[in-house]
Chain A
Amino acid sequence: MGTPEQSQLDLLLAELDEDIRVRHAEAQDLDAGDADDVAARTLKPRPSVSDIVFRSTAFVAGIITVTIMLAVGLFLSLRAGDAIGAVGFSFLTEQQWSPETQKFGIAAVLFGTITIAVIAMAVSFPLAFGTSLLISEITRGKVQRWLITLVDLMAAVPSVVFGLWGVFFLQANVIPIAQWISTYFGWIPVFAVTGDNGEVLTEASAFTSSAFIAGIVVGLMVVPTQTSVMREAFSQAPPGEREAAFALGSTRWVMIKNVVLPFGRGGMIGGAMLSLGRALGETIAVYMIISPIFVINWQVLKTGSNSVSALIALRYGEASELGLSALMAAGLVLFLITLIINFTASSIVARSRSGAESEA
């Protein structure tokens, strides 16, 4: 059984062998013949036409992108120069904003911006921290995927919608809490709400449109960014160390405290800073909620605050040449702050990522 086929196969294999031998010999002959009169070829890639077109198109796109973005930066700095030249260093210390009388500065608006951002961080950090740990450490499978989707979805909700919610719903419901805080913690200067002559205010109208309410809304808006950066950092904690912690008998929280958090520290700080950058630049929700004032207001629960972006939205239309330049300067300062924060944050995240490897 099977002999005819077998012999046929042998025949075939022999034939193939022979063929390969012959070709090999031919190739060797060819090599030997050429080696005498031809020098080694220089291997130099010659890009095809399509490659040249592709490379140059891509290069041009890169140039256009850089041009657009540098144009924004350069234009802002050039136009801002006029205003800063007009008032000099007092641009950073003056609280008023009246370019018509050559008296303007961003001290008050910058203070308001930072107040709102700090309140936003105080609201968003615990929420983002808890939620990202919940997603990365506690939930599994379907619930985990749903939570991730919901958090991403929250990042896509337009800021004007958050602003609406803040004005029409949150404001009325937060005022009692603000009143309560100012009543019982009024001895802390930040939480006090006093009138012009230092008398304590308790009526609800003193608590509307405050930095506190704007900060809560902005905080909710930046939670998703923060959560997703933190979640990624936490999920990169090495499984070997996690299991080692469990094997030593630690509870889940002890494991998180001793393994996940040290590994995810960079991501935590970076995520918080990234969202701080976004909180500083948020415009429309802040603009809808606050009532703009141009004095430094330490009492975060009291009506009235301001931010650089709200100032731009408020004053751009009526601005004169110098007024516009002053707004540009304010915008430039804001941009520089967010730029520094963003770059610091991304370098922290990147460094923590490269350091998060383990042998386990």
Chain B
Amino acid sequence: MMSETTMDSTTELLEPLPAADARTGSRAATEQGGLRARPEPRVVRRTQIPDSSGIEDAPRRTLRGVRVEDVFYVLGSLAAAMATATLLFGWIAPLTGVAGWFVVTFLFFIGIYVYLMRLSAGGQEVRDKLATLLMVSAGLILVFALIFVVVYTLGRGAEALPHLNFFTQTMEFAGPLDPLTEGGILHAIVGTLIQIGIALAITIPLGIVTALFLNEVGGKFARFVRTIADAMTALPSIVAGLFVYSAVILLITGQRSGFAAALAITVMMLPIVIRTADVVLRLVAGNLREAAYALGATRWRTVWHVVLPTARSGLVTAIILGTARGIGETSPVLLTSGITAVANFNPFDGPMISLPLQVFDFVRSPEPTMVARGFGTAAVLLLLVLLLFVIARVIGGQGAGVLTARQQRAAVERSKRDVIRMSPRGPVRGGQRWASRGKTTDPTSSQRSS
């Protein structure tokens, strides 16, 4: 068997074969041949593991464990703080409000915890525990605030969301006093989709090509562009809206329209997309580019076949996160799109409302049904943003150039096809060779017999 393999490899080497084949074949041949040509006696040294029988292991200590008393201190002081705060709020002091109760509980909790710790631990340890406690509570406050904002909006929106007409009707024939079974936000959904669509149609090509300009072309002007783009990220969104309002609406079109709103969103989104895409492109490893140049690729081919595919997931993430920001922006739209209750499919003519502006418009009314509609709209907007965010996370989970298992298989398939395509024997016979190799049959038996 051994000699047969060697035989095969040598035969392969003798004939002009596809590059990959020849390389592996020849290496195998020289290794095996070399071994047999110089049969030096090899001394095998193994790692010696001392005999451990008879030695008993002590139980492994946990270095970072949590002591039972730590848990008791936290729980105990929390209970004490809650009880004290309740007592204060209920009987002793004239205090009201849930938020106040939380603040008082928190302060008591810190105080009681520190006191308990002082009983058993030294100053350094108490300070360390206190700092940890404060950090954890900052994180918890933030996470709870976020969850609370989301849940509160969804909860108040739940009143309007179950009605199907909320998604299929407009507010054209529904007044503020009508029940929730009348009217809906179809016009706002349509408006948001059209406006963000136009904004993306401008932002994606312009933003990414500009980012390519900054990274792949470079030069003095590129540095200038980068400075300007950085400066524009500081532009308050309301000022972007004011610019479009006075430069486009007052001077040119004379009316508010979806297109003007899309322009305002573009002015706001463009610097964000340029900046994030710039960062993503900078993460593409320089040696990939150099490899492409060394193979004689032109700059454009390098960009198209190396830089952009490597940075793809990051670029998509940048665009999606930019979209999420753009969809949620209210202030530039407030000045430019106009408020309407009718579905308007033409972005160039007449006012076209979008979801955030619709929220703003609904909650200005004192009617409870309108406020409920406002929360329903906000919930739809929030869910849309969450969806975009999840998509961005799923796509952009990896760094630049890191492939998932499926992408890796696809890349292997592609390079196999490339080998076949480039093989001097032509694609057909090469294909057969690859196919037969895949089935682990002897690849060269047919050649030898012929």
Contacts and interface: CB of A to CB of B under 8 A. Distances in A.
A117 to B, nearest CB: 12
A55 B217 contact: yes
B213 A153 contact: no
A102 interface: no
A56 B291 CA distance: 24
A335 B29 contact: no
SS class, residues of chain B in contact with chain A: helix
Interface residues of B, number: 109
Given A138-B136, A158-B356, A316-B245, A66 B300 contact: no
B143 A150 contact: yes
B240 A72 contact: yes
Given A153-B389, A342-B231, 17 more contacts: A9-B29, A58-B209, A58-B217, A62-B214, A65-B206, A149-B393, A156-B325, A157-B328, A158-B329, A158-B356, A161-B359, A164-B374, A177-B99, A252-B128, A281-B236, A281-B239, A328-B242
Interface in A132-150: 133-135, 137-138, 147, 149-150
Contacts of A48: 298, 300
B275 to A, nearest CB: 10
B303 A54 contact: yes
B225 interface: yes
A5 B33 contact: yes
Interface in A1-43: 1-2, 5-6, 8-9, 12
A242 to B, nearest CB: 15
Interface of A: 1-2, 5-6, 8-9, 12, 47-48, 50-51, 53-55, 57-59, 61-62, 64-66, 68-72, 75-76, 79, 126-131, 133-135, 137-138, 147, 149-154, 156-165, 167-170, 172-177, 180, 220, 223, 227, 251-254, 256, 277, 280-284, 287-288, 308-309, 312-313, 316, 324, 327-328, 331-332, 334-335, 338-339, 341-343, 346
Interface string B175-217: 0000000000000000000000000000001100110111011
A62 B138 contact: no
The residue in A152, A154, A175, A253 that gathers the most chain B C-beta atoms within 10 A of its C-beta is: A253
B400 interface: no
A50 B150 CA distance: 49
B127 A253 contact: yes
Given A62-B225, A284-B334, A134 B136 contact: yes
Contacts of A281: 234-239
Contacts of B96: 176
A79 B386 CA distance: 39
B3 A127 contact: no
Given A9-B29, A50-B300, A160-B381, A59 B217 contact: yes
A156 B330 contact: no
B14 A284 contact: no
A339 B271 CA distance: 14
A281 B238 CA distance: 8
Q: Which of B29, B153, B247, B274 has the most CB of A within 10 A?
A: B153
Nearest to A338: B234
Nearest to A287: B331
Contact of B230 (A251, A309, A346): A346
Contacts of B386: 153, 156
A156 B139 contact: no
5 contacts: A51-B299, A79-B246, A160-B328, A316-B335, A331-B239
Given A138-B136, A160-B360, A331-B236, A65 B328 contact: no
A55 B137 CA distance: 52
A263 to B, nearest CB: 17
B210 A61 contact: yes
Contacts of A334: 236, 239
Nearest to B7: A5
Given A58-B212, A165-B153, A126 B138 contact: yes
Contacts of B99: 170, 173-174, 176-177
B138 A167 contact: no
Given A134-B135, A253-B132, A331-B238, A176 B156 contact: no
B324 interface: yes
A154 B231 contact: no
Given A69-B271, A164-B378, A150 B146 contact: yes
Given A157-B328, A158-B382, A252-B128, A134 B145 contact: no
B125 interface: yes
A109 to B, nearest CB: 12
Contacts of A154: 142, 146
B385 interface: yes
A53, A158, A251 pick with most chain B CB within 10 angstroms: A158
A283 B233 contact: no
B97 A62 contact: no
Interface string B218-237: 00011011001111111111
Contact of A156 (B234, B324, B359, B378): B324
A283 B136 CA distance: 31
Contact of A158 (B139, B141, B246, B328): B328
B134 interface: yes
A53 B300 contact: yes
Nearest to A255: B128
A121 to B, nearest CB: 15
A17 B326 CA distance: 66
A325 to B, nearest CB: 9
Contacts of A312: 238-239, 241-242, 335
